[in-house]
A = this chain, B = another copy of it.
Amino acid sequence: MSQLLLVTSLLSTDMARGLGELGLSETRAHVLWELGAREPPTQKRLADVLKVTPRNVTALIDALEETGFVRRDPHPTDRRAVVVVLSDKGRQTVATLRSQMASMAEQLFGAAPEADLQAFGRTLDALAVRLAELSGQDALP
Give residues in A with beta carbon < 8 Å to B.
1, 3-8, 10-14, 17, 51, 101, 104-105, 107-109, 111-112, 115-117, 119-128, 130-132, 134-135, 138
Assess whether B131 is in contact with A122, with CB atoms less than 8 Å apart. no
Known: A17-B138, A111-B126, A112-B126. A131 touches B3 (CB 8 A): no
Interface of A: prevailing SS: helix
Assess whether A7 is in contact with B124, with CB atoms less than 8 Å apart. yes
Q: List 11 A-B contacts (CB under 8 A).
A: A1-B108, A4-B124, A5-B11, A8-B12, A10-B131, A13-B135, A14-B135, A17-B138, A107-B134, A112-B126, A116-B119
Assess whether B14 is in contact with A127, with CB atoms less than 8 Å apart. no
Q: Which of B1, B121, B125 contacts A105 (CB 8 A)?
A: B1
Assess whether B105 is in contact with A130, with CB atoms less than 8 Å apart. no
